[in-house]
Amino acid sequence: MKEKPSKVAIAGFGTVGRSVAKILCQDRPAQLRLTHICNRGVERKKVPWVSEDVRWTEDIGDVLHSDVDILVELIGGLNPAEDWIRRALAAGKSVVTANKQLIACCGLELMQLAHENGRQLRFEASVAGGIPVISGLREGLAGDRLLRVSGILNGTCNYILTRMESAELPFSVALNEAQDLGFAEADPTDDIEGFDARSKLAILASVGLRCQIRPTDITCRSIKVIEAIDFVYARRLGSTVRQLSRAEKSRSGGRTVFASVQPALVPIASPLARVQGSQNLVMATGEFGGETVFSGHGAGGDPTAVAVVSDLISLAENRQSQLNHFPTAEAPHQVIGEFNSPHYVRFTVADRPGIIAAIASILANYQINIDAVLQERGSDKSKLPFVVTLEECNTSVLESALRDIEKLDFHVQPLVSLPMLG
């Protein structure tokens, strides 16, 4: 006998919620039927293309006490989203969410609650929007032992950096443009400081590396230090600048995870360099399968809604399954943001003889070798930018050396240090 469609409630009727509702109402997947929409100020949210038999409400209790099968949580943040999801699971409803912050902070706990109640929690849309990276890591690469996940996880930062690169724009102008086009929030702090990407990286580490990392344990560095001149020097080095998120298991067998979100130089030949605008890309490196790349549109209502509806269809077609979509993950002994890599360091100085010698002397004290010195011609000598590239060194050792260098009196603005990918 043909099963009845699963009844679906949407909590949160913003950009993504509207896109999910449009797919459910216009495409009408046979496995699903939208029955409830919950949102504050619901009267101003109503739209004529939603079927008249859908109930609009401001009270989540109306959803939790109904015969809805699946709650779609799209309000974001920790509160009241966590409470609503807990109550929905306890009431015997499965949950689909795009809430990266919540999954990064308490995904394992919520998965356990879902299991105890014979229900499921799906979260494909929490990382990289419409790119099926969660299922790809869990299922497509299940036969490999993943050692590293890395990528471009924030479309706002990638839009800003690629516009700075292509149009030679200052950071502030590129940011304003991103805000005008809706790619950046009025307060873009979570994006440009790396907080958004680190929540996504924590989820990828849990799913792909089986390492349970708290987002606050991941080192973050802002992209707002990047200037147009950095792209000029990067091109001379065969590279460009991207906000890079990466997590890697130690190869020594210990339970150490290296994780960071920061701007970095990436080679032009790398897939990371070819990601333009607000797109996302995730690279998974396995012991046996090597590198696998997932890329596409990682932001926006429609791509994210596709991931949500895909989770809904999977749930509806596998009602009896209690498959755990958040595999068992262990907490590592330590999470550190120190990677051994070559580095790019830009200095901006009031030019005078002896500057390179002074820098080289301090670096030598820390056993750090200079690889090259680059300087563009025609720069103002009172505010001269030049770059020193360094051979592979440890991040923490370099930071100690740079603190000593910053004490020298020729700087006219703070130096900028970026790791360089091989």
The single residue of 93, 100, 200, 249 carrying the catalytic annotation is 200
Is 381 annotated in the active site? no
Task: Give me the amino acid identity at 22.
Answer: K
d(CA 88, CA 93): 5
Positions marked active-site = 200
